[in-house]
Structure 1
Amino acid sequence: MKRLFSTAALFFLFTASVFAITAQQEQLIVNNVQAIFSQAELVLPDTSRVPRLCGMSTILEAKLHFDELSPSAQAALQPLLSARPVRQKIYDTPSGHFRIHYDTTGSDSVRNATIRNAQGLPVWVDTLARALDSIWTKEVTQMGFRPPVGDSFYTPNGGNGRLDIYLENLGLGLGATFPDSVGGVLGNRATSFIILDNDYDVYPYNDPQSGIGPSGGMRVTAAHEFFHAVQFAYTAYGAEVVGGNLKPYWYEATATWMEDQVYNEINDYRQYLLFWFRAPALSFRNFSSDYFNPNPDVQNRVFRPYALGIYGQYLSKRFPNPSYGYSVVRRVWEQMATVTGFNLFSALDAALAPMGYNFISSLQEFYRWNYFVGAKVPLNAPDTLYGAEAAAWPSFELFDQVDSTSNYPTQHPEVFVPCISCHPTVIKFFCAPCFVNTVGFPCSTKCPPCRFVPYQPTNVSVINCVNDIEDLGASYLNLQNPGGGSFMEFALVSDTARPAPWFASAVGYNTGSRTYTFLSNQATDPSGKIPEVFFGDFGNYTEIVVMVTNSELVSSGAKRDSSAYAYSANVDSAAPPGVTQIVEGRPNPFRTQIDPYVKFPIDLDSLSGTWDIDLLVFSTSGEIVYQKNYELQGGFPYSETVNWSGRNGSNEPVASGVYFCKIIMKEKGTSRKVEKLSKIALIR
């Protein structure tokens, strides 16, 4: 295989790492790059079934650490990283956007090279050319993304300024997009070229049962890799770097999302979903390049960024308006282009702000959506959430990732055992049995002998422990109705040794009719608790599902750790009266770029009737800037929130400053009245 070296390419895209790599890390980088190009023995955990990967992330990782590699490793990788392949023939696509470089003989020969169209062009190349032109039309013309940066201003550039596509017999990689020249007049942007496999004779495309076929594999990979070239037209520096390790999960997630936007009928992304649904506790930010490690936990981390493409599907379906929809992902990339370096989460906040969301609130809703897939796709609204297509997805329950119970108070002896000696006011508990796990952590690290939780819900003697939920990860609780219970009491408290901001979203679900009702959203208070939440209509459902998200978002350089929480649930035939009250608004100060609303929780007692509620927002001069009327129906104890978005009655953002929020509650037909005045600092 011949390669033509680029003298114009600026080889290193990232600031040299201050973390010296080990010999083991160096060997992993060399093995990964060589495996992409079939220059190393390809021994994966299951060579017949493991999905193949995009090589772009491997290329970026190798370039990031190139200066740290030994001379022998540099010599082995430089021809692969800085040179373009030399092919026997070229073909310019009809649109004028692409030049395809291909062979018709030898190991890199295209599939069925002797089968040609009327013009003598191999049908495989002709099919690819048509696909590429169609992909450009979809991603650039229709969806409004930037076109890739042209490379006509330097040589070697494939012969002209078109985007060059090289067909090569790849190994681990299905394709790879190379950032070629960056910096200078390009700023954060990079030119690029793409290498695609020459025949896609690998699983799942060579398996007739997949229904995709080699041609389908070629199409979706072309859409994926082309979107990497589009991403480089925004920024080549947007990947997160943690401890010297590159984590381009957003690049891979949105490229996988794009596959389905262009070729919705192929559904190639599904092969990665099992790595998402069998490990919900892993962080949104996970990325691993340890491709050859057979440990299932490592494999979950390797393929999780591709499965994360369903977050893009959530954004598209949740905000389908032409002003949003595709544009949510596009606006994120537009925001990322404004900064040199990693700014994904602030970019997501900015893109979602017009809809009253931010990244964290969207993530919490995304995790809620993820429960209603597979056999849980709602029958009462099959076109809502992800739609009927999600019926073919795996689910958390398929991989035993849902903590289910029908015994109350909650008690799981195999997971939770109270310590023998307990202080009367402190619950002391540990997880058992405690095994040495597959990655070799000692028992005391994986499952500490005791935790101390200075909180105990009323009338509940047993608490259930849920361990090792990573930052921006989630867990799922299925609280089944045992029959005869019409009221449920639920509470949650964060582990004090590893505290995290937890968010619990509850949904009532009926398994027979597959109908669901969203019940409540609750976040832990400053003390780390979600006090008793009452579900007075538990008898209307066969189960209540609680999605619990670790909402901790830390900076790239900060220490990230998994956390744990304890929850309790109890069922009764009648609800206690409870208390009607208005709780202080939070967050305060209210930063509109971080939180979509300032929320005033309202607790109603079970003796309540219907309440008429007025929210009045005053400026410091006494002017009413916003007002809204609500009506809440009582009859059982539950919590609701009254929200203010920081806008006036004309839906215009108000200025930063101090505002007084007054809530007046009047119970209809009685003289009961509850009022509260809160002072809120609003910061834009």
Structure 2
Amino acid sequence: MKSSNFFCVFFIVNLISLSVSEIPHSVAQKKSALIQESQLYTQQQKDRLFQQALAIFPEDKIPAQYRVVVETFPPQRCATMLVEEIRQNMHLFSPERQAVLQELFVRPDLPLSTVTESGFRIHYTLSGADAVSDVDSDGNGLPDFVDEVAAAYEKSFRIEVEHLRYRQAPDDAGVDGPEYDVYIVDLRGGVYGFTTSDGGIPSTLRDDARSYIEMDNDFLNNQFTQGVPGAQVTAAHEYFHSIQFGYRVFKIERSNEPFYYELCSVWMEDVVFDEVNDYFQYMRPFFQRTGIPFNQFDRFFHAYGEAIWNFFLVKKFDDFDLVRRSWEIMESNDPAIDAVNQALFEEGSSLADEFAEFAIWNYFTGSRADTIQFHNESPHYPEIALNGEFVIGDTTTHQSAETSITIADSSLSLTHKYYRFTTFSADKYLLTASSSTPENWKIAVIVLGPESGHEFHVFDLGESLDIGFLPRFSEVVVIPVNVQVLDGDNLNKLTNTYSFFTFNLIRVPVESTDEQGISAIYPNPFIMGDHDRINFEFFPKDTDNLEVRIFSAAGKVVKTDKLTNGSGALTPSTFAWDGTDDDNVVLPSGIYIIQLKQGDFIESKKFAVIRR
């Protein structure tokens, strides 16, 4: 899969088109608003905003008096929030600086262009700083790089519009011709491209906008993915931004809403160009920073990594339309997070339920990857950052021999925390959880046996989970999931509102009893290829003379084993089976029967084997 260091500078409103009338509704309101806003920014902060804007562009486009400042300032790779912040506060800059910004954010003027079948006009030049390589291997009169860019936009159109049925990006009212304009220009190191909205569309009732795209001219300036592959994911990403603008440009006052625009565009890169995998670069910020609210747009690429949310939804529901439906709902001016919840509600689910299961999927990456049940490219993702790791039931050390471990913690809205426990004694386990705001929480639990196989559960606070009997060295991963949805417009509230929770993992020691027989079979069904073996937990009556036999559905004995001096009388034992018969031949799918025989005691239970 892929995506791009979408160092995407996607500009929501053309800065040049800003007018005095677009800010407040009256002169008095305007004066009051300007005074209040100016007091929120120190001169140092305003200088920083200006410098960040300049850092998007190559040196030759920056006035000479500002170049030294920009050279010492790190480039802003994703300038969406930056540009919106500047747009909202353009009046805070001096007239001189406003003129500089307006000159930079003007539609490029390039001498050459080519038109594609689907209606893209690709503008380029063969001279100056914006020049593309003039290599023309096929002799068709177009530089190879321009050919590749044109092909990338054609493929993006076919998949995004014709196959996935998104609305075609609005036209630009005939500027530079009737086609959709893409300008190939030189961008500062690390920037892939950006989409600029270019005025609303009076003929529609939606808050939509026309747009055009600028993208780098060679992708050799410190981009994560360089050359043609970098141009390909840029085309898929940026054209999807232009499609998004046809549904609704994101609201200026909703300062965090760009999270969904970028999440979806990064996802779309992988849908269109599955072989490029540029989005891998965003996985570490996402998996290592689980405390950032899902609907917060930060400047460290966490929201770009959230693209795997769409991967999750599409795979689980087997439905690409689910994502498109959220954009259709957003047309009515619903906040992005509400639109996602509504789209899931129409599928019989909810954001809270799916966000909890999403946390489970995100555990199975790296060395724990399971591409059958969870993310398709999970082997390439880092493993999730743990918030705590514990041992329970180790009777050899005083500190971990306790019968319960209590965790009291807190987190922000729409976040996950991960706590992993390893069982050092074969016992029964129970999980309880509580909070003063139980409606804000779900608890996701992953249980992994020592050999293989896993099961997971999701429950609400106020309930308890009887995990049941676990052998030694099992793992229990407890994931408190904060499902509260806060207003993304209020950044201070979003990043400072913590909800508190407490949970207890309780070990229930198995006492000596007259209980005897098979107590658990897992995983059931036993899926050969996904699971290494199936485990049978039992309580032996004695320490020896215990026989295990496995029968086919026809009654044929396929596996026999005798266990002596296992774990001692009246304590749990485990028999693990790899799916082969006594001759080490792998058995076919079917229903099988395990029989436990000890003296006069005989017990049989059925289980299923699925051979892929």
TM-score (norm 2): 0.70
Is the contact between residue 256 and residue 295 of structure 2 (CA under 8 Å) also seen in structure 1? no
Match of 1:62, SS state, is helix
Partner of residue 516, structure 1: 454
- Cα 1:123/1:64, change in 2 over 3 Å: same
Q: Which runs of 5+ in 2 are unaligned?
A: 1-13, 25-32, 514-612
Which residue, out of 341, 345, 363, partners 2:337? Answer: 345
Partner of residue 550, structure 1: 482
Is the contact between residue 373 and residue 391 of structure 1 (CA under 8 Å) also seen in structure 2? yes
CA distance in 2, matches of 1:338, 1:557: 17
Please state how far the C-alpha of 1:328 moved relative to its aligned partner. 1.1
Please state how far the C-alpha of 1:466 moved relative to its aligned partner. 2.9
CA distance in 2, matches of 1:546, 1:7: 48
- Cα 1:407/1:44, change in 2 over 3 Å: farther
* Residues 116-515 of structure 1: pairs in structure 2 closer than 5 A: 116-152=137-173, 157=175, 159-171=176-188, 172-186=190-204, 187-205=206-224, 212-238=225-251, 241=254, 245=255, 247-289=257-299, 302-320=300-318, 325-339=319-333, 343-378=335-370, 382-387=371-376, 389-396=377-384, 399=385, 401-408=386-393, 463-467=406-410, 469-482=411-424, 484-494=425-435, 501-510=440-449, 512-513=451-452, 515=453
CA distance in 2, matches of 1:36, 1:413: 58
Match of 1:563, SS state, is strand
Aligned partner letter, 1:287? F
Please report the RMSD computed on the Cα atoms of aligned residues, expressed in angstroms.
Answer: 3.3
**Cα displacement string for residues 584-617 of structure 1 (whole angstroms, at most 9, x for unaligned residues):** xxxxxxxxxxxxxxxxxxxxxxxxxxxxxxxxxx
CA distance in 1, matches of 2:15, 2:478: 57
CA distance in 2, matches of 1:33, 1:501: 39
Aligned partner letter, 1:553? V
**Cα displacement string for residues 54-94 of structure 1 (whole angstroms, at most 9, x for unaligned residues):** 4444433332332343433322211123x21111311112x
Please state how far the C-alpha of 1:575 moved relative to its aligned partner. 8.6
Please state how far the C-alpha of 1:544 moved relative to its aligned partner. 1.4
Larger radius of gyration, structure 1 or 2? 2
Is the contact between residue 91 and residue 99 of structure 1 (CA under 8 Å) also seen in structure 2? yes
CA distance in 2, matches of 1:10, 1:222: 27
- Cα 1:251/1:384, change in 2 over 3 Å: same
CA distance in 2, matches of 1:505, 1:136: 39
Please state how far the C-alpha of 1:183 moved relative to its aligned partner. 5.0
Match of 1:105, SS state, is coil
CA distance in 2, matches of 1:25, 1:499: 40
Higher relative contact order (CA 8 A, sep 6+): 2
Is the contact between residue 11 and residue 180 of structure 1 (CA under 8 Å) also seen in structure 2? no
Is the contact between residue 233 and residue 273 of structure 2 (CA under 8 Å) also seen in structure 1? yes
Match of 1:273, SS state, is helix
CA distance in 2, matches of 1:175, 1:106: 19
CA distance in 2, matches of 1:178, 1:13: 21
CA distance in 2, matches of 1:59, 1:214: 26
Is the contact between residue 409 and residue 460 of structure 1 (CA under 8 Å) also seen in structure 2? no
CA distance in 1, matches of 2:403, 2:21: 56
TM-score (norm 1): 0.63
Match of 1:465, SS state, is strand
CA distance in 2, matches of 1:114, 1:550: 54
Q: 54-63 or 271-280, which moves further after superposition?
A: 54-63
Partner of residue 8, structure 2: none
CA distance in 2, matches of 1:317, 1:138: 18
Partner of residue 72, structure 1: 96
Match of 2:338, SS state, is helix
Aligned partner letter, 2:101? L
Match of 2:46, SS state, is helix
**Cα displacement string for residues 146-183 of structure 1 (whole angstroms, at most 9, x for unaligned residues):** 11100235xxx1x2121111111111421010000115
CA distance in 1, matches of 2:389, 2:147: 53
Q: Determine whether 1:536 maps to 2:536.
A: no
The number of residues matched between the two structures is 472
Please state how far the C-alpha of 1:491 moved relative to its aligned partner. 2.5
Identity percentage of aligned residues: 26
CA distance in 2, matches of 1:500, 1:31: 44
Partner of residue 579, structure 2: none
CA distance in 2, matches of 1:161, 1:57: 30
Match of 2:247, SS state, is coil
Partner of residue 430, structure 1: none
CA distance in 1, matches of 2:138, 2:357: 50
**Cα displacement string for residues 427-450 of structure 1 (whole angstroms, at most 9, x for unaligned residues):** xxxxxxxxxxxxxxxxxxxxxxxx
Please state how far the C-alpha of 1:199 moved relative to its aligned partner. 0.6
Is the contact between residue 444 and residue 459 of structure 2 (CA under 8 Å) also seen in structure 1? yes
Please state how far the C-alpha of 1:143 moved relative to its aligned partner. 0.6
Q: 97-106 or 133-142, which moves further after superposition?
A: 97-106
- Cα 1:491/1:54, change in 2 over 3 Å: same
- Cα 1:501/1:184, change in 2 over 3 Å: same
Partner of residue 505, structure 2: 569
Match of 1:406, SS state, is strand
CA distance in 1, matches of 2:209, 2:196: 9
CA distance in 1, matches of 2:19, 2:323: 28
Aligned partner letter, 1:164? D
CA distance in 2, matches of 1:463, 1:349: 32
- Cα 1:9/1:240, change in 2 over 3 Å: closer
Is the contact between residue 360 and residue 551 of structure 1 (CA under 8 Å) also seen in structure 2? yes
Is the contact between residue 11 and residue 63 of structure 1 (CA under 8 Å) also seen in structure 2? no
Is the contact between residue 180 and residue 191 of structure 1 (CA under 8 Å) also seen in structure 2? yes
Please state how far the C-alpha of 1:568 moved relative to its aligned partner. 2.4
Please state how far the C-alpha of 1:535 moved relative to its aligned partner. 1.4
CA distance in 2, matches of 1:56, 1:479: 41
Is the contact between residue 240 and residue 248 of structure 1 (CA under 8 Å) also seen in structure 2? no
Is the contact between residue 166 and residue 243 of structure 2 (CA under 8 Å) also seen in structure 1? yes
